[in-house]
A and B are shown apart, each in its own frame.
Chain A
């Protein structure tokens, strides 16, 4: 369930609305469920509402862990197997 996509806020509008962009597609969405959103922030968009900010720091950390996972696991396995 719950199709939601990360979009970037490009302008803040009246009435708790904002213009967002993703991959060149532009939409007007509601910020009614979030506080302190700034232009340039990435937010999670679901059915026309921003639900949460996306953390760049956490995203990078996750991606790095994914890239290392294979090598890390294999060295752990070697350690376990070693006498």
Chain B
């Protein structure tokens, strides 16, 4: 719980004393690190020689606070994970806040504290930031944009161009947690569940993955649109097909039950702390063992294989032994009664 009272005012974005106070009492306090302490318009970072990965994300999640996280930790995890999916070791993050006039300072404090904690757990400093305030009604509470830079180790070349038939497809753990956690709070759908968002930084696990198999073909984190969107994107970009085994795809019983209740398919539900790994078949066991050693990799499993035939189609052997195509949904899945 925050000790702060009162709300954000236009003055907090005005560049004057109020803004300096906000930054010092909230952001600098929670993000404190030597880079940030430089206190310049731009932060100087000594970067080792090599290839730099850079990424950016705008975060507009609603609700701002959810079981297992909030927009602050989500923002850190999202950007850190984007860097990790390139095989990069994250070096630094940036954070730009757009805050709506009237937003409670206590909530802002909570978000910044969460963001700072997430950054420290990931081992990535927030090196610079920006604060703006918009008039009441012109923002949804708070929007956060984060960017990140990372260092790609030598020998790492991850991307759909590496995909071919006959590779193993792995997932780092059960799917659908984040989307169900968010949905359970949504008005008109309320159901009780202990499901928490799986929002987590994957960089530590990826560092071990890339150290063990530097030639790994592909890492990607399935977020909005669920596992199905990610696999379909990869099939299209890599011009390959896939054949999955439904019984091998991990789903928590509560997530499965919530999906049954609402007529949803876990394959289309958002995740925020999972990765798909596509590798040579002989590396699959090594990689699964590495993932199992990390908290973010509990429940990691091999779920299928890539195929050279039927490029662009993700197919699956169903629980009963039939086959189906896993389609790419356009737009969010809506609960159904039929």
Stretch from B51-59, B190-198, B275-283, B290-298 forming part of the interface with A: B190-198
For chain A, give the interface size range: 10 to 19
* B337 within 8 A of partner (CB): yes
Chain A nearest CB: distance from B338 CB in Å?
4
Contact across chains for B338 and A1 when beta carbons are under 8 A apart: yes
Chain A nearest CB: distance from B87 CB in Å?
36
* Residue of B256, B261, B263, B336 ringed by the most chain A CB atoms within 10 A: B261
The answer for the CA separation of A60 and B256 in the assembled complex, in Å, is 23
Contact across chains for A22 and B337 when beta carbons are under 8 A apart: no
The answer for the CA separation of A45 and B258 in the assembled complex, in Å, is 13
Q: Which of A1, A2, A5 contacts B261 (CB under 8 A)?
A: A5
Contact across chains for B256 and A23 when beta carbons are under 8 A apart: yes
Chain A nearest CB: distance from B189 CB in Å?
10
Contact across chains for A24 and B336 when beta carbons are under 8 A apart: no
**A77: B residues at CB distance < 8 A:** none
* A52 within 8 A of partner (CB): no
The answer for the CA separation of A51 and B186 in the assembled complex, in Å, is 25
**B192: A residues at CB distance < 8 A:** 25-27
* B260 within 8 A of partner (CB): yes
* B254 within 8 A of partner (CB): yes
A positions within 8 Å CB-CB of B:
1-3, 5, 22-27, 45-47
Question: 14 more A-B contacts (CB under 8 A) besides A23-B256, A26-B191?
Answer: A2-B338, A3-B263, A5-B260, A22-B257, A23-B254, A23-B257, A24-B193, A24-B254, A25-B191, A25-B261, A27-B191, A27-B192, A27-B261, A46-B337
